[in-house]
């Protein structure tokens, strides 16, 4: 690295600065005297009010405040002693909600109308990881209708509540489309697969 040479003040420049400083003091004194000798002028009426109005705090809409609040960064600090009760509460909530979820999933109520017939769909499928049912009762969408595996067996079961009528359905076993292997009535779906037919009559509600 290159060493920088220290700057040395020029004696002539120092003198000129001092001379300027003296001139400046004189000017200031002259201005002070002029101001002191000026006549007193009354301020215009309403000056105070207009000044106060312009500096008065304006009300900001709620959404702007919320937006500003949301955008402003926050620092969160915690310690594990304070975090423990929150974690316990979360675990308890999940533990309580799980049976409720299982119950709802195992007994999907697709239609709230009266006169529903409980229908249990069951199938033995060893080695399957997931079994869903898609059909005309759920718009051929598998999400709300997954079968539950009975503990210690290869039997997958789902109970539906359906109105009397004619339905077609199929299983999605690990994503693969297949009709009910034990159904008494299957038919071509017209698209290269087979669907199982479920004809529910009022006498079936027994």
Partner 1 sequence: MMLKGLFLGLLAIVLAAALPAQLNAQTDRAAVTNALAKAVEGAREAGVPDSTVIKLLALGYEHGVEPASMANLVRITGEIKKNGLPLEPFVDKIVEGVAKSVPAASIENLLNQKQQDYQFTRSITAAYMKKHAFQQQVTPDDLVGIAESLYSGLTRQDLTLMMERAPAVPLFTLKRVINVQASLKQAGFDPKLSDRIISTALENNFFERQRRGFVRAIVAARRKGVSDLEITEAALKTMRSGGTVGGFCSQIGVSSSDIGN
Helix (H) or strand (E) holding 169: strand 165-173
Strand, helix or coil at 61? coil
Which residue's CB is nearer to partner 1, number 104 or number 193?
Answer: 193
Which residue's CB is nearer to partner 1, number 67 or number 140?
Answer: 140
Residue for token pair 């009397």: 164
* Binding piece for partner 1, criterion CB under 8 A, among 4-12, 62-70, 82-90, 162-170: 162-170
Which residue's CB is nearer to partner 1, number 26 or number 112?
Answer: 112
Cα 131 from Cα 120, distance rounded (Å): 14
Number of residues in contact with partner 1, rule: CB under 8 A?
A: 24
CB 161 within 8 A of CB 109: yes
Q: Which of 116, 122, 128, 178 binds partner 1 (CB under 8 A)?
A: 122
Which residue's CB is nearer to partner 1, number 50 or number 139?
Answer: 139
CB 195 within 8 A of CB 187: yes
Helix (H) or strand (E) holding 42: none
Task: Say how far residue 41 (Cα) sits from the centre of its chain.
Answer: 64
Site for partner 1 in 163-202 (CB under 8 A): 165-166, 168, 182, 184-191, 193, 197, 199
Contact between 136 and partner 1 (CB under 8 A)?
A: yes
Site for partner 1 in 101-120 (CB under 8 A): 120
Which residue's CB is nearer to partner 1, number 50 or number 181?
Answer: 181
Helix (H) or strand (E) holding 37: helix 11-37
Cα 119 from Cα 137, distance rounded (Å): 12
Cα 47 from Cα 180, distance rounded (Å): 89
Contact between 153 and partner 1 (CB under 8 A)?
A: no
Contact between 79 and partner 1 (CB under 8 A)?
A: no
Which residue's CB is nearer to partner 1, number 94 or number 141?
Answer: 141
State the residues that interact with partner 1 by CB under 8 A: 120, 122, 134, 136, 139-141, 165-166, 168, 182, 184-191, 193, 197, 199, 203-204
């Amino acid at each position: 690295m290159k060493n920088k040479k220290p700057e040395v003040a020029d004696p002539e420049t120092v003198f000129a600065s001092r001379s300027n400083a003296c001139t400046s003091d004189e000017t200031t004194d002259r201005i002070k005297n002029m101001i002191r000798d000026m006549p007193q002028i009354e301020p215009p009426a309403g000056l105070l009010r207009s000044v106060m109005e312009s500096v008065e705090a304006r009300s900001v809409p709620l959404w702007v405040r919320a937006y500003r609040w949301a955008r402003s960064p926050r620092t969160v600090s915690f310690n594990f002693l304070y975090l423990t009760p929150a974690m316990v509460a979360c675990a308890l909530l999940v533990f309580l909600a799980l049976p409720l979820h299982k119950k709802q999933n195992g007994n999907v109520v697709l239609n709230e109308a009266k006169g529903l017939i409980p229908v249990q769909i069951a199938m033995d499928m060893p080695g399957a990881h997931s079994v869903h049912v898609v059909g005309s009762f759920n718009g051929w969408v598998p999400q709300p209708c997954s079968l539950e595996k009975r503990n210690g067996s290869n039997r997958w079961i789902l109970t539906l509540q359906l109105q009397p009528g004619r339905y077609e359905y199929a299983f999605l076993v690990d994503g693969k489309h297949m009709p009910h292997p034990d159904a008494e009535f299957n038919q071509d779906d017209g698209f290269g697969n087979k669907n199982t037919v479920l004809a529910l009559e009022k006498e079936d509600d027994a």
